[in-house]
Amino acid sequence: MTSHVTAYRAAILHSLADPAEVGIEQSYEYFEDGVLIVENGRVIEVGPADQLLPKLQGIDVQEYRDALITPGFIDTHIHYPQTGMIASYGEQLLDWLNTYTFPTEQQFADKAHAADVAGIFLKELLRNGTTTALVFGSVHKQSVDAFFEAAEALDLRMIAGKVMMDRNAPDYLTDTPESSYADSKELIERWHGKGRLHYAVTPRFAPTSTPEQLALAGRLFAEFPDLYMHTHLSENRAEIEWVKELFPKRSGYLDVYDHYQLIGPRAVFAHGVHLCDAECQRLAETGSAVAFCPTSNLFLGSGLFDLEKLEQHGVRVGLGTDVGAGTSFSQLQSLNEAYKVMQLQGKKLDPFKSLYLATLGGARALYLDHQIGNFATGKDADFVVLDYNATPLISYRMQQAKSLEEKLFALTILGDDRAVKETFAAGRRVHSRD
């Protein structure tokens, strides 16, 4: 392969560590006039323009004015089949599932429909600067084939899986323990580790799986290296009561998953809004992760996520949109709502912590921080160009800003897809706004 070097010049910002561990100042690196050098889809070097430009004789340098380059955003929880039902009115979780979600997901029995929606969904992610996501399919294995085919064509780093669901859902949407195991295994063999794709064993949530299905899901999770496990946990009070009725022998919601060995590194639980200390402790000691989905938690009235509590226990936390219960594909908008969730609890969310959650923190939650999340040499060149002049108001606000911190904060509050000028995946431009 002939090597291909490209360089990008703008303000450049990336996370180096969790601000909770090293303090704000040590948590990031910023070059006001920076250059990012990319070769064959990987980061070669990032640094100040005055030092790097002399080394780049004869190399194409793409320059951006009034722009900030950051790593691509990472969405640790989203449902692609729910794209078309985003913003559905009026229900909390369990009624919302029955009223809107299940009928919508039924349509994914048709592979052509699934392929159409996968295309729309990936385009929307990239328009919003999200380059990696952990994605629910539907119960139909062809929904996951359609998704991975679309992601592979764009050479994206994506994680997805077929929903396993064998009770408490309409007949048209249920599988069986045996069929869910066999179909998931077939998909793993076809897709897991192919290019930048990874597979997640995906029991929807404890109420829609029999103990037999959860046992087989646990077996499958242990059977292949580096698989993910992706489900929901402690999102809504009525849901939690229902889990107690369905699994009376278990000590709590997390204990159901624990009992069936659906816990550990690369196990990602969406929500965790109502976790007790013992559950946080167990998540931390097993290396499991939780996806904080602020727009969804507010939209479904689920509750306020206690980021500080999970952090104090040492739980890995990523940021999720949870579309279609979430109301935006934009991780900037997730951060806007996350800030408000913290405010409602009398707490703060520093903008550099926000950056971390949307990038390196997500990569750590997914055990992908050796490949994505910042601009360390050798990582995938997945990045976004954010536009300080995206809208008249953003542009005017940026003119008033006196510090990077202030600009970053305003971008997370005011920004959305309009702020994403370009998105790159493995060094290729996969979205251009203008």
**Helix/strand/coil percent split, the chain, to 5:** 45, 25, 30
- Please check whether residue 288 is in contact with residue 265, taking contact to mean a CB–CB distance below 8 angstroms: yes
Q: Which one, 31 or 205, has the nearer CB to Zn ion? A: 205
Burial category of 150 from C-beta neighbours within 10 Å (exposed 0-12, middle 13-18, buried 19 and up): buried
Min CB(326)–ligand GUN separation in Å: 8
Q: How far is the CB of 65 from Zn ion (least distance, A)?
A: 39
Told to check if 101 binds ligand GUN by CB under 6 A, we report yes
Least CB distance from residue 85 to Zn ion, whole Å? 12
Among Zn ion, ligand GUN, none, what binds residue 93 when CB lies within 5 to 8 Å by partner kind?
ligand GUN
Which bin fits 241, alpha (ψ -120 to 50), beta or left (φ > 0)?
A: alpha
Site string for ligand GUN, 282-301 (x = CB under 6 A): --------------x-----
Query: How many Å apart are CA 354 and CA 339, to the nearest integer?
Result: 9
The interface partner of residue 101, options being Zn ion, ligand GUN, none and the CB cut-off 5 to 8 Å by kind, is: ligand GUN
C-alpha 105/C-alpha 1 separation (Å) is 42
Given candidates 80, 121, 147, 205, which one binds ligand GUN under the rule CB under 6 A? 205
- Of the residues 18, 75, 183, 235, which one makes contact with ligand GUN according to CB under 6 A: 235
Instruction: Based on the shown chain and the rule CB under 6 A, indicate whether residue 121 belongs to the binding site for ligand GUN.
Output: no
Task: Draw the binding track, 240-279, toward Zn ion (x: CB under 5 A; -: no contact).
Answer: ------------------------------x---------
Rg (CA), the chain: 21
* Binding status of residue 220 toward ligand GUN by CB under 6 A: no
| Footprint (CB under 5 A) of Zn ion, residues 318-357 | 322
- Residues 396-425 binding ligand GUN (CB under 6 A) are none
* Whole-angstrom distance, CA of residue 270 vs CA of residue 229: 11
- The DSSP 8-state label assigned to residue 134 in this structure reads E
Instruction: Choose one: 11-19, 93-101, 260-268, 403-411; the region binding ligand GUN (CB under 6 A).
Output: 93-101
3-state secondary structure of 306: coil
Phi-psi region of 121 (alpha: psi -120 to 50; beta: other; left: phi over 0): alpha
The reply to whether omega before 362 is within 30° of 0 (cis) is: no
With CB cut-offs between 5 and 8 Å by kind, which of Zn ion, ligand GUN, none does residue 76 bind?
A: none
- Which residues contribute to the site for ligand GUN (CB under 6 A)? 79, 93, 97, 101, 204-205, 232, 235, 296, 322, 325
